Structure formats: C-alpha cells, structure tokens
Structure 1
Amino acid sequence: MRICVISFDFWNYDAHIVDELRKKGVDAHHINIGAYRHRNFPARLKNTFSKIILQRNLKNEMRQKMILDELGKLGKQDQILVINPELIERRYHEEIKKFTNKYIAYLYDSLARCPADHLVDLFDEIFSFDKNDAQRHHFKLITNYNYLSEIKIQEKAIYDLVYLASFDNRIFLLSKIIKKLQDLKLSCHVVIVGKKTWKKNLNLQINPSITYTRKRIKHSEIPGYYSKGRVLLDLTRDNQTGLSFRIFESMALKKKIITNNPTVKDYDFYNSENILIIDEDLSNFSTAFFETPYQDLPPDIYRKYTLENWVETVFNL
C-alpha cells in the first residue's frame, strides 16, 4: 500500500504519522509544505515585493507547485491525507486528487479559525478534532494522538507548572495564571515561540517567568522540556473545542495537566485527579491539585488514543 501525507508541519507532529505507517510496512511519504524555503536571497526579495505591491504570495504558490512536483516523482497513491487543507487552493487540490484512489482530510483546527467549507466536497472522508464541527458538518470525529512511548519520568521536577506554546492572544490568560501561581507560591517555566514574539513589548506582556524566542524548539526536545514540570498547562485557542497535543503528551509522560478546555471531561480518559479544568476566573485554581499523584489510565483506554490506533482508524488498516 502507498500512502502520502501532505501538511504544513510546523511542530513536526505529522511526521510521526508517516513513521507509524512505515512501521506497519506501508510505503509512506510526507510532503511538508512548511519545509519549503526560497532558493536564495533574490527569490526572497522578489516574494516580499510581490506580497506588498501585487498582494500575491509567490512562496505559497511555490509550496503548492512543490506538492505536485513531489507527487509526480512518487506516482499514484492508494491514499492521500491532507492535514488542514485550507492551506492549499482548490485548483491544486483538484490536481492532487488525481494522484490517489482515496482523498482524506484531517482538520486539526476548527472551521471558525481555519475555514475549509469550500473544499469539503473534494474529499472522500473528512476527520475533525473539533466536536462542534464534526456534529454540524457530519465529519468523522477523531482526537489528536499520543505519539510518545509510555514512560514515567523518574527525575524530580524543577517547576510546579510548565507551558510551551506559540505566541497569540492566549498570552493574556497566561499572565493571569502566572499571577495566580505567584500568589500561591508555586513556580512555573513558560516558553513562547514564534516570529511575532516581538509584539510582547506592544502588549506589555513582560514577565520574568516567560521566555520569548523566535527559534523553533526541536520536536525531540519537547518531552525533556515537559519533564521539568510537575504539572503541564494547556490553553485553547479561540473557537477551539478539540483537544491539543498537550493532553496526549501528558498522558504518555504520566503528568497531570491544567486546561481551560471544558470538553475534555466528555472523554473516557478524563479523571479529575489528573486533569483540572480551570474556571474562567481561576477560582478553582489551588495548590491541592499539585499535591496528589498522577493516576494511571486503564490499558485499553490508553491505547485508544495512541498514534497506532489513530493510523489504523484514519487509513482503515
């Protein structure tokens, strides 16, 4: 069987799908449009000029042409999975679809944040991590996956709470949480990543507990980063009901987690001893949650959220 995954893989989560497929003996390939780079400085300058003057992003066009070039080399695929298809224009989707017998989409964002309504008729199957979208549009609901091997970290945590995320408006709630932690005399370590981190000065979000960086953290370093904390923090983006990867990373690392996503209580792995759903005013945020140990999940529930099960479900293996 031949399967191709197409995505903009900023955090390198999608590459795990291809690795798992290969473990199962599938001839699998990943076309990461996020990995496309300008050939040289003049090409970058030309793209900048085009965006400003012509309102045309040449880099996006080249990324999409790259997909067709790569598929031309790979040949016909039994299945092609596109993650967040709104990043690709319809005319390119129509060409991509010619390379496969089964065209699948996975929406790892709500339609409210990343509209893809105009593309849904192109796909044979559509999976979504967002409960509201799945119910409203009759998509197949599936969560993100646990890509890590199950492991209980032995070394003692340095901080009470750790958080790693991209720079966006979650920074305002984060600042309130840090203040709450300080009031409770609990420590935290926060890293905010992204090209827009310079905006912290405009928003006056200067806090010694927060490290801002434009440099992308290597995917392989994420588990080590989370191992430094007793508890992980998960903050949802606007218009998001789906579960982030942090929920599943905490599951694999056997770490407790604090989240502002109320839908987590609807899943069979939910345990109030492991997961604290914070109130909007943070009134239920207390030291008590930090003082009790993580409770292991039953093996059958744990496996349900592994990458292996995700791959078997999406590709019907």
Structure 2
Amino acid sequence: MKITVISFDFWQYDAHIVDVLRKSGIDAHHINIGAHKHKNTAAKVQNALSKTFLNKNLKNIGRQNLILTELKKLGKQDQILVINPESIAAEYHEEIRKYTPRYIAYLYDSLARCPAEHLLHFFDKVFSFDKTDVNTHGFQLITNYNYLPEIRISKNSKYDLVYLASFDDRISIAKDIAEKISEFNKTYHYLIVGNSSWKKKYFGSKNPNWSFTSKRLNHENIPKFYSEGKVVLDLVRKNQDGLSFRIFEAMALKKKIITNNDTIKDYAFYKPENILIINEDLSNLNKSFFETDYQELKPEIYNEYTLDNWVKIVFNLK
C-alpha cells in the first residue's frame, strides 16, 4: 500500500504518522510544504514585492508546486492525507485528487480559526478534532494522538506547573494562574514562544519563572520540558474545543493537567484525579490538586489514544 501525508509540519508532529506507517510495512511518504524555503535573499525580496504590489505570495505558490512535483515522482497513491487543507488552493486540490482513489483530510484547527469549508468537497472523508465542527458538518471525530512511548518519570519534579505555548490571548489566563498558585507556594515555569521583545519586559523582566524565545522549541525537547513539571497547563484557544497535543504528551509522561477545555471530560481518559477543569474565575484552582499523585489509566484506554490506533482509524488499516 502507498500512502502520502501532505502538511505544513511546523511543530514536527506529522512526521510521526509516516514513521508509524513505515514501521507497519506501508510505503509512506511525507510532503512537508513547511520545508520549502526561499532559495536566496533575492527570492525573499522578490516575494515581498510580489505580495505588496501584486497580492501574490510566491513562497506559497512554490510550496504548492512542490506537492505536485513530489507526487509526479511518487506516482499514484492508495491514499493521500492532507492535514489542515486550507493552506492549499482549490486548483491544487483538484490536481492532487487525481493521484489517489481515497483523498482524506484531518483538521486539527477549528473551522472558526482556519476556514476550509470551500475546499472540503474535494475529500472523500474529513476527520476533525473539534467537536463543534463535527456536530455541525458531520465530520468524523478523532483526537490528536499520543506519539510518545509510555514513560515513567520520577515523581521529584522540578516545578509544580509548566506551560509551553505561543504568545496569544491565553497569556492573560496563564498569568492569573501563575499568581494564584504562587499564593499556594507552588512553583512554575512558563516558556512562551513569540517575536516581540516587549513581552519579556512586560511579563518576565522581574520574574525568572517566565521564559521567552523567538524560536520554537525543538520537537524532541518538548517532552523534556514537560517532564520538569508535576502538572502541565493546557489553555485552549478561542473558537476551538479540540484537544491539543499537550494533553497526549502529558498522558505519555504521566503528568496531571490543568485545563480550561471543558470538553475534555467527555473523553474516556478523563479522571478528575488527573485533570482539573478550571472555572473562568479560577475559584476551583486549589492547592490539593498539586499534592496528589497521577492515577494510572487502564491499558485499553491509554492505547485508544496512541498514534498506532490513530493511523488504523484514519487509513482503515486492520
């Protein structure tokens, strides 16, 4: 069987899908359009001018042409999966569709955040992690996946709470949570990814528990970061109710979770001993949650959320 995954793999999660497929003996390939870069400075300047005066992004066009170039090399595929298809124009979907009898999509952003309704008619099947979109559009619900091996980390964590995220409007809630757990004499470390220099001045200049970086954390270092905390903080973006990868990384590392995503209680792995769903006013954020241990999941529940199970569902594998 031949399967190709097409995605803009910014955080390097999607490559794990191809790895698992290959381990099961499938001829799998990953077309990572995020890997397409400007050839040189002149090309970068040309693209900037094109966007400004012609409203045409040459870099995005190059990424989409890369898909067709690679598919011509690979030939016909039994299945092609596109992750978050809104980054690919309709005319390219029409061409990609010709390379496979089963063209499928996975949305791990909500349509409210990343509109793709105008493209979904190209696909034979659409999977989504967002329950609102599933209920509205009839997609098949599937969560993000646990790509890590199951790990037993020492109970002697460096911090009581850790949080890793891009800089956005979630920062305000994260700040309130930090202040509240400090009142409990609990420790924390926040690592915020962004570009503006004023962020560190405003939030972290007098607080060593806040770290800021303009570069995303290397994918292989994410589990190491989370392993330093007893509890992982998960804050959902606006207009989205799907489960982030953070949930599954915490699951593999046997870490407790504090989240504002109320839909998490609907999943089989939910245990109030492990997961605290905070109220908007943080009135239920308490010291005792940090002072109890993680409760193990039953193996059959844990395995339900692994990447091995995910690929079986998405690609109809036995």
- TM-score tier, shorter chain, comes to over 0.9
Pair 1:216–1:279, CA change in 2 (3 A): same
Matched, 1:200 2:230: no
Q: Does the Cα contact within 8 Å between 1:167 and 1:197 map onto a contact in 2?
A: no
Deviation (angstroms), 1:163: 0.7
Q: Which one-letter code corresponds to 1:61 in the other structure?
A: I
Q: Which one-letter code corresponds to 1:97 in the other structure?
A: R
Alignment match, 2:59: 59
Per the normalisation by structure 1, the TM-score is 0.97
Alignment match, 1:257: 257
The correspondence of residues 144-163 of structure 1 with structure 2, limited to 5 A, is 144-154=144-154, 156-163=156-163
Alignment match, 2:105: 105
Deviation (angstroms), 1:120: 1.2
Equivalents in 2 of 1:49, 1:199: separation in Å?
Answer: 28
Equivalents in 2 of 1:222, 1:254: separation in Å?
Answer: 14
Q: Does the Cα contact within 8 Å between 2:200 and 2:212 map onto a contact in 1?
A: no
Equivalents in 1 of 2:181, 2:196: separation in Å?
Answer: 23
Q: Which one-letter code corresponds to 1:72 in the other structure?
A: K
Equivalents in 2 of 1:82, 1:145: separation in Å?
Answer: 16
Q: Does the Cα contact within 8 Å between 1:197 and 1:213 map onto a contact in 2?
A: no
Deviation (angstroms), 1:177: 1.2
Deviation (angstroms), 1:180: 1.1
Moved more, 2-11 or 149-158: 149-158
The correspondence of residues 109-128 of structure 1 with structure 2, limited to 5 A, is 109-128=109-128
Secondary structure at 1:98 match in 2: helix
Alignment match, 1:237: 237
Pair 1:37–1:199, CA change in 2 (3 A): farther
Pair 1:197–1:164, CA change in 2 (3 A): farther
Deviation (angstroms), 1:185: 1.6
Secondary structure at 1:270 match in 2: coil
Secondary structure at 2:175 match in 1: helix
Alignment match, 2:76: 76
Secondary structure at 2:101 match in 1: strand
Alignment match, 1:94: 94
Per the normalisation by structure 2, the TM-score is 0.96
Matched, 1:32 2:25: no
Deviation (angstroms), 1:221: 0.8
Deviation (angstroms), 1:199: 5.7
Moved more, 213-222 or 110-119: 213-222
Report the RMSD for the aligned CA atoms in angstroms: 1.3
Deviation (angstroms), 1:76: 0.8
Secondary structure at 1:236 match in 2: coil
Alignment match, 1:185: 185
Pair 1:152–1:95, CA change in 2 (3 A): same
Question: Deviation digits for residues 93-118 of structure 1, max 9, x if unmatched?
Answer: 10111111110000001111111110
Q: Which runs of 5+ in 1 are unaligned?
A: none
Equivalents in 1 of 2:56, 2:178: separation in Å?
Answer: 41
Deviation (angstroms), 1:58: 1.0
Moved more, 226-235 or 182-191: 182-191
Equivalents in 2 of 1:197, 1:252: separation in Å?
Answer: 33
Q: Which one-letter code corresponds to 2:199 in the other structure?
A: K
Deviation (angstroms), 1:155: 6.3
Q: Which one-letter code corresponds to 1:94 in the other structure?
A: E
Deviation (angstroms), 1:48: 1.4
Question: Deviation digits for residues 134-174 of structure 1, max 9, x if unmatched?
Answer: 11101000001000111111262111101111121111111
Deviation (angstroms), 1:210: 1.7
Structure 1 outlier segments of 4+, above 3 Å? 196-199, 204-207
Q: Which one-letter code corresponds to 1:166 in the other structure?
A: S
Deviation (angstroms), 1:201: 6.5
Alignment match, 2:13: 13
Q: Which runs of 5+ in 2 are unaligned?
A: none
Secondary structure at 2:178 match in 1: helix
Equivalents in 1 of 2:200, 2:187: separation in Å?
Answer: 23
Q: Which one-letter code corresponds to 2:109 in the other structure?
A: D
Deviation (angstroms), 1:17: 0.3
Pair 1:262–1:155, CA change in 2 (3 A): closer
Equivalents in 2 of 1:72, 1:150: separation in Å?
Answer: 38
Matched residue pairs, number?
315
Q: Which one-letter code corresponds to 1:113 in the other structure?
A: R
Q: Which one-letter code corresponds to 1:200 in the other structure?
A: K
Pair 1:13–1:197, CA change in 2 (3 A): farther
**Identity among equivalent pairs (%):** 62
Equivalents in 1 of 2:198, 2:132: separation in Å?
Answer: 32
